[in-house]
Structure 1
Amino acid sequence: MRFLATLLPAVALLSACSSQPQQAPAEPHGNPFKGNGGFLLSPDHSATPFGGDFSDNQAANAFIDKMVREHGFDRQQLHDVLGQAKNLDWVIRLMDRQAPTTAQGPTGPNGAWIRYRSKFITPDNVQNGVAFWNQYQDALQRAQQVYGVPPEIIVGIIGVETRWGRVMGKTRILDALATLSFNYPRRAAYFSGELETFLLMAREEGDDPLNLRGSFAGAMGYGQFMPSAFKQYAVDFNGDGHINLWDPVDAIGSVAHYFQAHGWLTNGTVAVQANGQAPGMESGFKTRYSVATLAAAGLSPQIPLDNNQQVSLLKFDMGTSYQYWYGLPNFYAITRYNHSNHYAMAVWQLGEAVGRARQGM
C-alpha cells in the first residue's frame, strides 16, 4: 500500500470482494461542479444525518474548518458527509497490530521466507496472473513503453496486493480514514492528511466519497494506493478523463508511473543469487556493500551484476539454512512500494513465474 509500507505487511488483512466506484448521479446534492465546493453524492447519501459517530468530535470539527478554509468545501455538505461516517473500533485494533514491536524473533532459520512465498506463488494464483496479463497485455505493453517498467513487475505488484483485483477490500474508505484521523492519536496526523487528500480526490474525480471501498487503512484499488500516492502518481491511463484506481488499466499505468518515479532502471535486473554464506554480515535492502567486500566475505554472484559496484545483501530463511542474494537498484525500487525484503522478492518472483507460465502456454 503506497505510503503505508512501514505500517502494513504485504499480506493485507483485507476482506474478499471489492466494490467499484459509483458513477455520479444525475441529480447531485450540493454544488454540481467538480472541484468547486461540493461532492456529487448519491441520492441516498444526500440527507442531513441526525448525530453521527463523529458529531461531537473536536478533531472532526477542526478538520471541517480546515477543509472549508483551505479548500473551499461546502461546510454543510462536508458536515453531512462526515456525519455519515462510522467509527470502526476493529480498524484501530488491526492498526495496533501493525505497530512496531521490540519482541525478538527466532535466532535461527525457521522457514519464514518459504511460508511467505507460498502464500503468493501457487499454481492457481500463477494461472490467475496469466489470465490478467493476457486480458490487459496491451495496457501492460504500453506501460512498459511509456514508463520503462516491465509487465512482470506490474503484474507482480497487483498480484501480491490484490490477487489481480479479487481482494481489494470492502471497508468504506471514509469510515476507515475518519476513524484513524479522529480516534487514533498515534497516527492521527498522517491519516488526517490521507483523509484530506481522499476527499479532494473524490471531489475532483466526481466520486461519492461514501461509496468508495478499500482496505481497513484506506488503500484503494488494484494497486492499493493510499490517497497521497494517488495524488502524486495515479494517472488516467485509459484516456477517459477520469483517474479510477478500481479500473485495471488506470491501475496498470499508475503502478508503472510509481516505479518510474522511484528510480526503476529500464532493462535492469532486480537481484542476483549468491554462492556462499555470510552469516556475520548485516543484511536487508538498506545495507550497502561493495562487490569486493562481499567477495572477501566469501560470496560470489551466480550471474553478472550488470556493472553494479555497490549492492545490498539480502538474506532469506529457507528453513534449514539461509539463501543470500545481491540486491540491485531495482530491488530497492520495489521496496519503495512496501518496505519489506520478503514483499519485494515475492513481487519479483511472482511476476517472473507468471511470465514463464504464460510463455509455456
Structure 2
Amino acid sequence: MIVHKVMRRVGGVALAAALSLSMIGAAPAFADAGFQNWVAGFRKTAAEAGISCGTYDRAFRGVTEADPEVLEKARYQPEFTAPVWDYFDNRVHEESIANGRAMARKWKPWLDRIESRFGVDRYVLLAIWSMESNYGEILKNPAAMRNVVRSLATLAYADPRRAKFARTQLIAALRILQTGDIDERHLTGSWAGAMGHTQFIPTSYQAYAVDMDGNGHRDIWNSVPDALATAANLLRKNGWQSGKTWGYEVALPPGKLPAGTLTLAQWQNLGVTRANGKPFRNMSDKATLKVPDGRGGPAFLMLRNFYVIKKYNNADKYALAVGLLADQIAGYGSLAQDWQRPFTKLSFVEKQELQKRLSENGYYDGKFDGRIGQGSRDAIKAFQAQIGVEQDGNPSMEVLKYLRSK
C-alpha cells in the first residue's frame, strides 16, 4: 500500500472491512449526539498533542455529524477481483500517456528543478500523478473530495478497525491546519483522508511535504510543483537510485528458472534477455523475475527502483503500472508481449464508444470515460444476457460490434 494511504490499501489489497451494524443502523439523532460527544471528548487528546483550542474549533466548525458516505465506502466490499490485464488497461492507455506527455511539456521547467533536486525520474512522477488523481482531475470533482477532518473523525468514531489509525491521522491533519499550510475550507481529500494531487495521508504529508514553489506553504492541493516534489521526496528518502530504471520487460528461455534475486549478468547467463533485444545496463544490479500474467504473458526483471515505488503503494501491480506508464510517457514504447486477454482489446476511444452505445440502449448511466469499472461491466453483462451470449462483462470488440449492429 501507499505509505500515505494505509486507510485505503494494505499490502496492495483494497481495504474493505465491515463496520458495526448497530453503529451504522443507529437513528440519526442518536448518531449525531454520539458523534458530537466524541468530538468534544477528543479535544483533550488533541490538546495533549499540542493542538490549540483555536485550531480545534476552526477544524470542527460546522462538523456536527458523521459522514454517512464515508461509512458506506469504508464497509463496501468489492465482489469483483480484476484480472491483471484489466488493472493495466484502465491505467496505462492512450489518454493517460497523451496527457502525461502534455503535462511533461507544460511543467517542464518545474520538472527540471525537481529532477535536479531529488534525482527522481520525471516520468515516474508523472505516472504517479496520473495513477493518484488523473493529473489532478479528481480534485476538480466536488463529489470526490471530502472534508478530511470530518472523514477521519467519522472513521475514528464509528469504525473500530480503523479507529486508532484515524485518530493518528486526525491529529496530523490538525497539525497541518495549525502550521497554516492550508486552511480548513481547503483541507480536502478522499473518504480515507488521502490528500492532494499525489494523495498523501496527513502523517506522510508531515514526513515528506515540500514547498517547491517557495510561497511559504507546502500546498499539495493547489501547487503542482509542491505535489510532484513531495512525491519525489518520498521516493528519494526511501532509496531511489538516480539514473537507473525500475526494471525491464524480458523474454524467457524454455524451462524452469530459479526464484529469488540474481544479478542481471546471472539472469542473462540463464538465457533471460530484454524483450526489445537491447542489452541490459549495469549488469551487476540485482533483479527479481516476476510474471504477473503467467509464463504466457509479459515477464519482467524488477530492480531496486521498482521496490522503492512500492513504498508509495505496496502492490506489485501498482508499481508495475507506474513503471510501464512512465516508460510510455517517455516514449520508450509499449510491451513486446501483451497481456493474455480472452477477447479482442478495444482502444481507449472504442471503450468510450462502448459506454456511449450501452447508454443509448439503456444499459449504462455512468460517464463515457473509457475506464471500465463495475458499472460498465454490469452494463455489458446485462447486454450480453439480452443477446444470449456468455455474460463475462469484458469490454471486447465482439460486444462493441453487436452494439454497432443494433
TM-score class normalised by the smaller sequence? 0.7 to 0.9
Distance 2:183 2:111 in 1: 29
Distance 1:306 1:341 in 2: 23
CA, structure 1 residues 80+124, in 2 after alignment: closer, same or farther (shift >3 Å)? Answer: closer
1:304 partner SS: coil
Distance 1:268 1:90 in 2: 43
Is this contact kept in 1: 2:148–2:188, CA < 8 A? yes
Summarize the alignment of residues 33-44 of structure 1 with structure 2, pairs less than 5 Å apart.
none
Q: Note if 1:250 corresponds to 2:242.
A: no
CA, structure 1 residues 98+260, in 2 after alignment: closer, same or farther (shift >3 Å)? Answer: farther
Where structure 1 has 5 or more consecutive residues not aligned to the other structure, the ranges are 14-50, 106-110
Hey, what does 1:89 align to over in structure 2?
A: 68
Deviation of residue 4 (structure 1)? 2.1
Q: Note if 1:67 corresponds to 2:46.
A: yes
Deviation of residue 93 (structure 1)? 3.5
Q: Note if 1:315 corresponds to 2:291.
A: yes
Hey, what does 2:307 align to over in structure 1?
A: 332
Is this contact kept in 2: 1:182–1:188, CA < 8 A? yes
Is this contact kept in 2: 1:5–1:337, CA < 8 A? no
Is this contact kept in 2: 1:264–1:330, CA < 8 A? yes
Deviation of residue 205 (structure 1)? 1.7
Summarize the alignment of residues 58-137 of structure 1 with structure 2, pairs less than 5 Å apart.
60-74=39-53, 78=56, 81-82=59-60, 84-85=62-63, 86-97=65-76, 112-137=83-108
Hey, what does 2:112 align to over in structure 1?
A: 141
Deviation of residue 172 (structure 1)? 1.6
CA, structure 1 residues 301+63, in 2 after alignment: closer, same or farther (shift >3 Å)? Answer: farther
Hey, what does 1:290 align to over in structure 2?
A: 262
Hey, what does 1:220 align to over in structure 2?
A: 195
Hey, what does 2:9 align to over in structure 1?
A: 8
Distance 2:283 2:332 in 1: 30
Q: Note if 1:183 corresponds to 2:158.
A: yes
Hey, what does 2:37 align to over in structure 1?
A: 56
Where structure 2 has 5 or more consecutive residues not aligned to the other structure, the ranges are 16-31, 334-406
CA, structure 1 residues 93+313, in 2 after alignment: closer, same or farther (shift >3 Å)? Answer: farther
2:298 partner SS: strand
Deviation of residue 95 (structure 1)? 2.7
Distance 2:60 2:35 in 1: 7
Deviation of residue 147 (structure 1)? 0.4
Deviation of residue 188 (structure 1)? 1.1
Hey, what does 1:342 align to over in structure 2?
A: 317
Is this contact kept in 1: 2:5–2:199, CA < 8 A? no
Q: Which moved more, 1:2-11 or 1:238-247?
A: 2-11
Query: TM-score, normalising length from structure 2?
Result: 0.66
Is this contact kept in 2: 1:223–1:251, CA < 8 A? yes
Amino acid at match of 1:175: R
Deviation of residue 116 (structure 1)? 1.1
1:322 partner SS: coil
Is this contact kept in 1: 2:67–2:151, CA < 8 A? yes
Distance 1:54 1:80 in 2: 17
Distance 2:201 2:246 in 1: 25
CA, structure 1 residues 115+70, in 2 after alignment: closer, same or farther (shift >3 Å)? Answer: closer
Summarize the alignment of residues 25-40 of structure 1 with structure 2, pairs less than 5 Å apart.
none
Higher relative contact order (CA 8 A, sep 6+): 1
The structure 2 residue matched to 1:160, chosen from 103, 125, 131, is 131
CA, structure 1 residues 282+87, in 2 after alignment: closer, same or farther (shift >3 Å)? Answer: farther
Distance 2:215 2:197 in 1: 18
Deviation digits for residues 200-245 of structure 1, max 9, x if unmatched?
0011125332442211111111100111111010100000011100
Which protein shows a greater Rg?
A: 2
Deviation of residue 121 (structure 1)? 2.1
Amino acid at match of 2:261: Y
Is this contact kept in 2: 1:199–1:209, CA < 8 A? no
Deviation of residue 5 (structure 1)? 4.8
Summarize the alignment of residues 186-201 of structure 1 with structure 2, pairs less than 5 Å apart.
186-201=161-176
Hey, what does 1:21 align to over in structure 2?
A: none
1:313 partner SS: strand
CA, structure 1 residues 6+197, in 2 after alignment: closer, same or farther (shift >3 Å)? Answer: closer
2:166 partner SS: helix
Aligned positions, number? 305
Query: TM-score, normalising length from structure 1?
Result: 0.74
Distance 1:161 1:210 in 2: 22
Distance 1:278 1:144 in 2: 40
Q: Which moved more, 1:60-69 or 1:332-341?
A: 60-69
Distance 1:66 1:278 in 2: 61
Q: Note if 1:208 corresponds to 2:183.
A: yes
Is this contact kept in 2: 1:236–1:242, CA < 8 A? yes
CA, structure 1 residues 211+241, in 2 after alignment: closer, same or farther (shift >3 Å)? Answer: closer
Deviation digits for residues 3-41 of structure 1, max 9, x if unmatched?
32584388999xxxxxxxxxxxxxxxxxxxxxxxxxxxx
Amino acid at match of 1:82: F
Q: CA RMSD in A?
A: 3.4
Deviation of residue 130 (structure 1)? 1.9
Q: Which moved more, 1:296-305 or 1:173-182?
A: 296-305
Amino acid at match of 2:323: W
Deviation digits for residues 68-94 of structure 1, max 9, x if unmatched?
13304117x625743632412332332
Hey, what does 1:268 align to over in structure 2?
A: 244
Distance 1:215 1:12 in 2: 14
Distance 1:98 1:277 in 2: 40
